[in-house]
Structure 1
C-alpha cells in the first residue's frame, strides 16, 4: 500500500479537515484573535491530524503488505486466514475474521469434494475389477466354441477390455503413483508385454514389426509402461495405411535411455501436433475415425510425467509418426534419491 493510495482513499476526511481548519481560522479572525494565536491553533490542529493520519497509515501498510506477501507465497491459499495474526485496528480484525470464516467454509467444501471424488474413484476401481470377470469368462467361452461369429465377438470383447483398462487408469490418474512399482527391466520386456496384448489386432491389420537392439536395461513401472506402449500401438493400428509397419528402436545415453516407436501410418497434421496430449482432443484424424476418444495419449502423458519419463511425438502427414519415450537411467534415479 502506497501513501498516495492511502491519501486518495481518505480524500473525504482530508477535505473535511481542510474545511474545519478554514472555519476555525474564520471564527478566530472574526473575534479578533491575535494572528499568532490563530497560527498556533492551526498548526496544533494540522499537526495532530497529520500525526494520527501517518500513524494509521504505517500500521495498516505493514498489515496489508504482509497480507499480500503471504498471499503470493502460500501454495495453499485457504490457509491464509489461519496464519494471519489479527492486527491492532478494527478493520484488520474484521478482515481476518472474515478470511478465517471463508477459509473454513472452503476447506470444508474441498474436503467434502475430495471425499466424494475418492469414493467415486474407489467405486470405478472396484467396478473395473468386477467387470473384468465376465469379460474373461466370455472370452473363455469363445475360446472353447470357435467359429466365425464367436471370433468376431472375441474381437469386440478385446476392445471392451481395452476400454475398461483405460477407465481404470483414468480413475487412478490423480494418485496413480501409489500403485507404482519401479523395478529393473528392459525395453525389450516392456515392448514384448505390450505386443502380447495387441498381437491379435496387429495380425488382423497385417502389421509388420521391426525390433532393433531393445535389450537395454531401464528402471520403470512395467505395468504403466506397458499401458503407454499399448496406447501407442493402438493408435498405430487405428491410423494405419494399407501396409502397417511398426518399428521399435532405442538409444542409450549418459543419464537417459530413449525408446522410439515409429509407424508408417497417415501421420498427424502440423496444426494438430501440439495438442495431441490434450484431454479429449481428436483433431483431424479423429473426425475421420469416429472411434477416437482423445483419452489414450492424455493418460499416457499423465502417467509418463508421474514416472519422470518424457513422452513426445513427431509426425509427417502421409508418411508416419514417431513417438519417443525417454527413460531416466537407474543411476540417475539413485542420484536423485528416487
Structure 2
C-alpha cells in the first residue's frame, strides 16, 4: 500500500522537488542570497514534507485498504467509512451500485425460483399422463408395437428425470440423507426400468457384488447408476454390461463396464462438461450432453470419485470410488 500511495502522490512529490531545485537555482544565481541558508531551508522543508506524507498516509490509506481487503460480496456493512469529501463520493456511488445489484439479484433469484417451481410442477403433471400411457402400452397385444412404444416412453421418462434432477442439484446438500444403501436392489430396480431397451438391443447384465452395501444417498446414487447404465446401453449392441463391486484400501469400488464403441481419447477429458456430446458422433441429435454432467455434479456432493477407462471399439469402464467411512461421518454432520 505504501508503494501505491507514493505512486498516487508522485505529482505532488515531483512538484515539491521542483520547488526545492528552483530555490537552490535562485540562491546560486543571486549572490545576495546565502546558499547555506537555502540549503538549510531545503533540508527542513524536506523533513516537513516527509512528515506530511506520513500523516496523510496514515489518514488516507485505511479507507482504500478496507476496500482492497473486503470480500467481493454485496455486504455493505463491511464497506469502510469515508473520512474525506472524495472518499464520501466513492462511498456513496459504490453503495448505491451495491444496493441496485442487491435488488436485481433478489429479483432474479425470485424469478429463478419461480421458474424452477413452475418447471417442477410441470414435470410432475406430465408424469400423470405418462403413467397412464404406460398402463395403455402394457395392455397392447402387438409385441413389436409394444416394444417400440415402451422404448419411446422410456426416453421421455429419462429426459424428464434428467430435468427434475438438474433443477434439484443446486439444493442437493439440503436433500442428502446418508445411510447404508443396498446396492443390489438399487441396481435391479434401474435395470428393470431399462429392460425393454435392453431386450431391443440384445443386452444383458452380469452382476458380481463382493460388497453389497455402501454409505451413500439412495436416491441420488440411483440417478448416477441410471445415467451410467443408459450410457452403456446406448453405445452397446448384443453384449453384456458387467457390474462389480469390491473393497480396496478401505474404499468401495463399483465398476460399470460395457463392450460398446468406446470413447475417443480426445473426448475423455471433456465427457463431464455440460452439453458435450462427443466428436465421434457429433450429428447425434438425440444426445443432450447432460447425463454425465449431472452425474459429475452429484458425485461431487456425495464425495464419490469417478475414474473412466475406454478403448475405442472395445468398450468403456466407469469406476465409482466411494469415500471412507470417516469422510461420510463429516458429510452426515453437515
- CA shift for structure 1 position 277: 0.5
Query: Structure 2 unaligned runs (5+)?
Result: none
* Secondary structure of the corresponding residue to residue 83 of structure 2: coil
Q: Give TM-score scaled by structure 1 length.
A: 0.87
Residue 57 of structure 2 corresponds to 57
Residue 77 of structure 2 corresponds to 82
Q: Which runs of 4+ in 1 moved over 6 A?
A: 26-29
Tell me whether 212-221 or 255-264 shows the greater mean CA deviation: 212-221
1:186 pairs with 2:182: yes
Residue 14 of structure 2 corresponds to 15
Q: Distance in 1 between matches of 2:258 and 2:49?
A: 80
- CA shift for structure 1 position 151: 4.3
1:292 pairs with 2:291: no
What is the Cα-based RMSD across aligned positions, in Å?
2.6
Q: Distance in 2 between matches of 1:182 and 1:146?
A: 43
Tell me whether 311-320 or 261-270 shows the greater mean CA deviation: 311-320
* Secondary structure of the corresponding residue to residue 175 of structure 1: helix
Could you tell me whether the CA contact under 8 Å between 1:210 and 1:245 is conserved in 2? yes
Q: Distance in 2 between matches of 1:21 and 1:284?
A: 71
* Secondary structure of the corresponding residue to residue 209 of structure 2: coil
Could you tell me whether the CA contact under 8 Å between 1:216 and 1:252 is conserved in 2? no
Q: Distance in 1 between matches of 2:239 and 2:21?
A: 93
Query: Structure 1 unaligned runs (5+)?
Result: none
Tell me whether 271-280 or 200-209 shows the greater mean CA deviation: 200-209
Structural mapping, 1:78-117, within 5 Å: 78-79=74-75, 81-117=76-112
Residues 294-336 of structure 1, C-alpha deviations (whole Å, 9 max, x = no match): 1101011111111222222111111110011122355652366
Return closer, same or farther for 1:288/1:25 CA change in 2, 3 Å cut-off. closer
- CA shift for structure 1 position 284: 2.6
- CA shift for structure 1 position 172: 1.3
Residues 134-162 of structure 1, C-alpha deviations (whole Å, 9 max, x = no match): 11111212222332445423321221111
Residues 36-81 of structure 1, C-alpha deviations (whole Å, 9 max, x = no match): 544444444333333212322344345434443x24xx3x5333x4
1:120 pairs with 2:119: no
Q: Give TM-score scaled by structure 2 length.
A: 0.88
Could you tell me whether the CA contact under 8 Å between 2:203 and 2:241 is conserved in 1? yes
Q: Distance in 2 between matches of 1:181 and 1:23?
A: 79
